[in-house]
Structure 1
Amino acid sequence: MRLRTILLQALTCTLAALTVAAAPAAVAAPAEQGVIRGGDRLFSSGGGRCSVAFNATDGSRFHGVLPGHCAGTRTRWFADPGLTVPVAEAEVSRFPGSDYALVRYTNPDYSYPSEISVGGRPHRIDRAAQPAIGQRVCQSGPTTGHRCGTVQAVNVSVTYPQGVVHGLFRSSLCLEPGDAGASAFDGGTALGIAVAGSGNCGSGGTTYHQPVAPVLAAHGLRVGH
């Protein structure tokens, strides 16, 4: 029983066994003209590209939630790989310790709905919640597309070269390079942000997610706008 508790509640993994959910070298397509949803990629100078997991608001401004290891060192973000349409500026970065970043949307010609792209169609997100072991979880990623699985563990720690990230949850979902920021959700409930994984979608694997509910709470943000 003690061993099971350790495995499910305080599992520590090293990055050597993981694939960090980085963006691929190939240039990705830009977001739909005039709208950015969860699952859409943003682009920054120097070849930076990360996917927005979820859009959120503080009641007056809109923000995108991204992985910290992917977005933390970038300052200005664009809707297109040619860097001609500025849409956001970096506002918060947490990595290591946690693994998330917040960008503040700045382009009034775009809309930022509380939706994610699932199979090319908008999917409404109404709330955020902490994941529970055994809960169904789905993921929408630019590389792997839409897949569903279960939450396997919570309060997981992952060791990166830069330091340890605490408080992640692990799922049975697979992850491929290019899925940084893939949205993890259950119906209309936002659960987390894909940040790392082991294995692959050909032979199976696991994914590690930054829970999104505590991120929103820490910064006075909400989904469902």
Structure 2
Amino acid sequence: AQDARTWYADPALTVGVGVTAGVSFPGNDYASVRYTNTVVAYPGEISLGVGGGTRDITNAAYPVVGQSVCHVGRTTGYRCGTVQALNVTINHGEGAVYGLFRSNLCSEPGDTGGPAFSGGTALGIIVGSSGNCSSGGVTYYQPVSEWLSAYGLSVY
């Protein structure tokens, strides 16, 4: 949730992990959480869904047109395709979001916030889509390198 101040590791909201450190929306579509709980592990890996294992993310980069990209959405799961376009703008009811990239992957409601990556390189976060996975569609992502740069963060 964009207005959340405290973040938790469990659905019962009993294990706090951090606090919101910054939010940028509209214009961009990202936020940063500052971890405050030193007891909880913060692995740098992505779950690939039921039975899919994990993918260790060790760096971040800006995407390139034609590059392979995979994403994991809570609704549609693990999918792979190709980066189609850079510097794309989409319009939400709350305002425009600029500087996104687009893939030929489908996604559906519930997938927003899912990671996009190529191998062990983080590329972006799902912020929207058009179409669906029955008839085809495209997905739009906030580039993760822009967001890391805005907050002075890195992936390692």
Q: Which structure: greater strand fraction?
A: 2
1:83-111 Cα distance to aligned partner (Å, 9 max, x none): 12211211110000100011112222211
Opposite residue 6 of structure 2, the aligned amino acid is: R
Shift of 1:115: 1.1
Task: Determine whether 1:112 maps to 2:42.
Answer: yes
Runs of 4 or more consecutive aligned structure 1 residues displaced over 4 Å after TM superposition: none
Matching residue of 2:142: 210
Task: Determine whether 1:153 maps to 2:112.
Answer: no
Matching residue of 1:176: 108
Mapping of residues 59-74 of structure 1, within 5 Å: 71-74=1-4
Opposite residue 171 of structure 1, the aligned amino acid is: S
* Max Rg structure: 1
Size of the alignment, in residue pairs?
A: 154
1:27-51 Cα distance to aligned partner (Å, 9 max, x none): xxxxxxxxxxxxxxxxxxxxxxxxx
Task: Determine whether 1:189 maps to 2:121.
Answer: yes
1:121-167 Cα distance to aligned partner (Å, 9 max, x none): 22111111111111110001222111001111110011112211100
Q: 2:132 aligns with which of 200, 206, 218?
A: 200
Q: Secondary structure at the match of 2:149?
A: helix
Shift of 1:204: 1.3
Matching residue of 1:85: 15
The one of the two structures with greater contact order (alpha-carbon pairs below 8 A, sep at least 6) is: 1
Runs of 5+ unmatched residues, structure 2: none
Matching residue of 1:133: 65
Matching residue of 1:97: 27
Opposite residue 154 of structure 1, the aligned amino acid is: L
For 2:47 and 2:72, how far apart are their aligned partners in 1?
A: 7
For 2:152 and 2:32, how far apart are their aligned partners in 1?
A: 12
Runs of 5+ unmatched residues, structure 1: 1-70
1:167-198 Cα distance to aligned partner (Å, 9 max, x none): 00011111121112111000011100001011
Q: Which structure: greater helix fraction?
A: 1
For 1:222 and 1:105, how far apart are their aligned partners in 2?
A: 14
Shift of 1:117: 1.0
Matching residue of 1:52: none
Shift of 1:199: 1.2
Opposite residue 129 of structure 2, the aligned amino acid is: G
Matching residue of 1:10: none
RMSD: 1.2
For 1:180 and 1:111, how far apart are their aligned partners in 2?
A: 24
For 1:184 and 1:200, how far apart are their aligned partners in 2?
A: 17
For 2:113 and 2:59, how far apart are their aligned partners in 1?
A: 18
Instruction: Tell me the TM-score normalized by structure 2.
Output: 0.93
